[in-house]
Amino acid sequence: MTKPVVDLTIVGSIGIDTIETPTEKREEILGGSASYACAAASFFTHTGMVGVVGTDFPKAFIDTWATMNIDLAGLQTVEGKTFRWSGVYHENMDNRDTLSTELNVFETFSPELPEDYKEAPYLFLGNIHPALQLHVLEQVRNPKFVLIDTMDLWINIAKDDLTQVIGKCDMLTLNESESQLYTGKNSLTQAAKELLNLGPEYVLIKKGGNGSMLFTKDDAFLLHAYPLDSFKDPTGAGDTFAGGLMGALAASGKTDKEAIRQAMVYGSITASFGVEEFSLERLTQLDRDEIEIRVEEFKEMCRI
């Protein structure tokens, strides 16, 4: 059998973001779940992006992905404006408010996978409407491992579709407040139990700057976040984490719990770099050696 062209397919949003933090405002910068996730995964494995942009999408952004060796055969450019999102962070940077969401070309997006991508052993269904995630799942042939992400919006407006697609995936990731919203349970362990009952073997709950937890039916694994001196923009941190995790898992060729735990460390450390600057600005300057050095430093911090 010939090796697939990409080892990991990532589908998600591609956006032009305007972001305001307590100290800085940045307009029209590159964002979206697929953009962050593919950038992170590209440090570890050959990654293919599936998404949509409008005819207004700057060529410089496409060049950014191309220099990271992200395969763009699954990227559609259609007549119209690119998806836009803007948000403002609160003083503590933990919470933010969405100021506007313009779906634009995203409104009629139907993700179509290039033939090669259908054979990729690893698939990350990034944050888009669950009906579209399902449409992608229907196109892939026998993937080894599928991770799905979501957000509060889909839990609120498309919970049935979401529940259906979660049941077909190996692993679900969502953040703490989303797990509470979905299940109505405040306890993380109770929420995880309920989510595991939907079908996935693994549930990964992200707790922002407080790290993350991986749950299975038998046990739980707690991973702290790398303590940063300072950071500029947490937008896309969860997508960077998940993309790095899936990239590292695909590079290992494995899907077992030990491999997932190791991959979580790589995802978390890659995300710690991502938030140091806005958009992909830090990730485009990052190299694999820097990731390895920080991983070692992190492991030393956790040694007991």
Binding residues for ligand AMP, per CB under 6 A?
A: 13, 15, 17, 31-33, 85, 101, 127-128, 153, 235-236, 238-239
C-alpha to C-alpha distance for 181 and 171, rounded to whole angstroms: 18
Choose between 175 and 183: whose C-beta lies nearer to ligand AMP.
175
Residue reference for tokens 């953040």: 175
Choose between 31 and 200: whose C-beta lies nearer to ligand AMP.
31
Shortest reach from residue 158's CB to ligand AMP, in Å? 11
Shortest reach from residue 121's CB to ligand AMP, in Å? 25
Shortest reach from residue 239's CB to ligand AMP, in Å? 5
Give rounded-to-5 percent helix, strand, coil for the chain: 40, 25, 35
CB atoms within 10 A of CB 170: 18
State the burial class of residue 77 (Cβ atoms within 10 Å of its Cβ: 0-12, 13-18, 19+): middle
Shortest reach from residue 82's CB to ligand AMP, in Å? 10
Shortest reach from residue 137's CB to ligand AMP, in Å? 18
For residue 250, give the nearest of 267, 275, 269 by alpha carbon: 267
Shortest reach from residue 260's CB to ligand AMP, in Å? 20
Shortest reach from residue 142's CB to ligand AMP, in Å? 27
For every residue of 4-52, DSSP letters joined together read: PS-SEEEE---EEEEEE-SS-EEEEEEE-HHHHHHHHHTTTS-EEEEEE
Choose between 15 and 200: whose C-beta lies nearer to ligand AMP.
15
Choose between 33 and 45: whose C-beta lies nearer to ligand AMP.
33
CB-CB contact of 120 with 8 (8 Å): yes
Choose between 85 and 266: whose C-beta lies nearer to ligand AMP.
85
Choose between 46 and 269: whose C-beta lies nearer to ligand AMP.
269
**What is the rounded radius of gyration, in angstroms, for the C-alpha atoms of the chain?**
18
User: Can you list the alpha helix ranges (DSSP code H) found in the chain?
Assistant: 33-41, 59-67, 130-137, 152-157, 159-166, 176-183, 188-196, 237-252, 257-274, 288-302
Cβ-closest position to ligand AMP: 31
Choose between 133 and 255: whose C-beta lies nearer to ligand AMP.
133
Shortest reach from residue 264's CB to ligand AMP, in Å? 16
Strands 171-175 and 202-206: parallel
Q: Report DSSP state, residue 56.
A: T
Choose between 19 and 46: whose C-beta lies nearer to ligand AMP.
19
